[in-house]
Amino acid sequence: MTTLFDPLVAGELRLANRIAMAPLTRNRAPGAVPAAITATYYAQRASAGLLITEATAISQQGQGYADVPGLYAPEQLAGWRRVTDAVHAAGGRIVTQLWHVGRISHTSLQPGGGAPVAPSAITANSKTYILDADGRGAFVPTSAPRALALEELPGIVADYRRAARAAIEAGFDGVEVHAANGYLIDQFLRSGSNRRSDAYGGSIENRARLLVEVMEAVTAEIGAGRVAIRISPVTPANDAADPAPQPLFEYVVAQLARWPLAYVHVIEGATGGARDFQQGDTPFDYAALRAAYTAAGGKAAWMVNNGYDRALAEAALAEGRADLVAFGKAFIANPDLVLRLRAGAPLNAWDSSTFYGGGEKGYLDYPTLAEAAVEAAA
């Protein structure tokens, strides 16, 4: 029987176990440059079969939150090189998540103070994180976006291609294209945010066109075996909405079967919320989603995410519903999560007040089992 602790080959990624650290935004990259503490943070968690970095902007236009990292300037690549070197020295594997937030941004974060971009000029009922004049972080409503012109879309695709190449140059083992959680690619997919009447709007095929073009570009640039994608079929995150997610995402995964990807990462339910959340009239059928992918010839590893503990994760593997399981908040508070899961040891509780922004507190100072034992004996 397959367990969380068995190795796995996913595309060109050779993983020591089937436990992934989910991408987790932490807002600790001033000036969009990964800090020295970021290398320590990821290296502490390198026992995961795979580390997926926090979402990383492919361009300044793609930035949507203060103090999140980028992948488009030399100093950013140098910062990420420190991270990848530290993770590899600790025996880990790490990919970065390529991110364009689309309309989930604020004018203060955009080039020249311009409006964020989106498929259509529809403001999201959502918030983003910016710094005030005194450098204090705060959540504020997103700014009204402008619709991308048709002639701008090849440039967006080119930004993804450049970011993928930059990631490899910075030492990453691969990339995960962020097509989930109501960000740009997801905005194009969903009818709630895409009201276009050109080749990128209307039908499912048209709404998925940008995703397909991005995947074509990224896989051609660095090889499909180093490329993955994240989707979230029913999440309401960032005002994502579509009344018919089943046919939409079954079409999406059938298109993804074109390439021998490393893995497909699926958020089940509402991101960070109810696993049984649904949009539309019927519950989403995740087994049918994977069946659609397999029927189209897809062979990538299947990663599941959202609210998994060890028992639920082991059941998903044993029943063939997943090949990899991503854990989020548990990895924030437990740098040695793999060891704790294997030993059935209790987990540290996380402090949500330190999730976003700050320094080492709530970032580097959660104790491992060994450290806790030393403290207890002192």
Residue among 160, 183, 200, 366 flagged as catalytic: 183
153, 200 in Cβ contact below 8 A? Answer: yes
Residue where the block lists tokens 């999140």: 68
For the record, the structure tokens of 91 come out as 């025996």
- Single out the residue of 309, 311, 219, 328 nearest to residue 265, CA to CA: 328
Are the C-beta atoms of residues 147 and 118 closer than 8 Å to each other? yes
Task: Give DSSP secondary structure letters for 15-28.
Answer: ESSSEEEPP-----
**Mind giving me the DSSP string for 85-118?**
HHHHHTT--EEEEEE--TTS--GGGSGGG---EE
**DSSP-derived 3-state class of residue 302:** strand
Nearest residue to 210 via CA among 232, 194, 224: 194
Quote the CA–CA distance of 214 and 210 in Å, as a whole number: 6
Identify any residues that bridge with 147 across adjacent strands, giving them in sequence order: 118
CA distance 183 to 194: 12
- Give me the torsion for CA of 236, 241, 244, 249, rounded to 10°: -70
Q: CB atoms < 10 A from the CB of 85, how many?
A: 14
Residue 50, judged by CB atoms within 10 A of its CB (0-12, 13-18, 19+), counts as buried
> Rounded to whole angstroms, how far apart are CA atoms 36 and 19?
25
Collect all residues with Cβ–Cβ distance below 8 Å to 182 and sequence separation of at least 6.
104, 124, 126, 190, 193, 235, 236, 237, 238, 239, 240
Is 183 labeled as catalytic in the residue annotation?
yes
Distance CA 224, CA 215 (A): 9
Phi, psi of 369 (to 5 degrees): -60, -45
Q: Which residues does the annotation mark as catalytic?
A: 183
